[in-house]
Chain A
Amino acid sequence: MIATIISTQKLTPVALNKIKSAINKKYGSQVKFEQKIDQSIIGGIKITLGSIEIDATIDGKLRRLYQELLSKL
């Protein structure tokens, strides 16, 4: 299983280790990690692990905000 970590800049080693430990604890130590830099997310971090996606990006938040406001129109 490969976990892809997407952010606007490279993670610090401390931050990277934190997230790796948390994921390994949850999903087992067979998980491999790769980092990707993507400016379109504006800020924050996104982690994809197979079919699971954890979106904590500014872009994702703005999209969710847009959907919520649109549903209230």
Chain B
Amino acid sequence: MNIQFSQILFQIVNFSILVGALSYLLFKPIQKIFKDRTKRIEEGQKAAEENITAQKRLESLQKKTKQHSEKKATQIVKEAKDKAKSKRLGILTQAKKDGQILIEKMKNDFETEKNQAMKKMETTMLEAVIAISKKVIGKSLNKKAHTQLINQEIEAIIKTL
């Protein structure tokens, strides 16, 4: 076997050139590609993490808002119920008062009407008594009685003149 050192040297040089050329032309770009890819992946992961954080924050905010709204709604309902209760009591009290006033008025009206009716009845009775008296006296007086009455009245008139 003949080992030719020039050939080996040539191969070594050749190989070195090849490695050098490959490293420059291939290795570096590929490395860059991998670096870029890694960077993109990292950025994507970071963005994803940020999204997750933002989502968690949003969820927390939503939860807080929901709790606050529920609390507010409960408060509003309670206030409305209390107001309605108070108004109902007010209406009932007023209705009672109005009822009592109406009853008093009706009582007074009834008394007034009763008194008026009594007075009318008494007036009618009085008129009837006077009318009957006129008839009875008229029928009971004869000519002599008339004359006597006239003479009496004339004496009385003369005294007053």
Contacts and interface: CB of A to CB of B under 8 A. Distances in A.
Interface of A: 7-9, 11-12, 15, 18-19, 22-23, 25-26, 39, 42-45, 47, 54, 56, 58-59, 62-63, 65-66, 69-70, 73
B105 interface: no
B134 A19 contact: no
Interface stretch (B11-19, B28-36, B49-57, B135-143): B135-143
B40 interface: no
Interface string B134-155: 1001100101011101110110
Contact of B154 (A26, A45, A63, A73): A45
Contacts of A7: 146, 150
A66 B130 contact: yes
Main secondary structure of the interface of B (DSSP, over half): helix
B143 A70 contact: no
B126 interface: yes
Interface of B: 119, 122-123, 126-127, 130, 133-134, 137-138, 141, 143, 145-147, 149-151, 153-154, 156-158, 160-161
B119 A15 contact: no
Main secondary structure of the interface of A (DSSP, over half): helix
A8 B143 CA distance: 9
Given A66-B127, A69-B126, A42 B134 contact: yes
Residue of A8, A9, A39, A65 contacting most chain B CB atoms (<10 Å):
A8
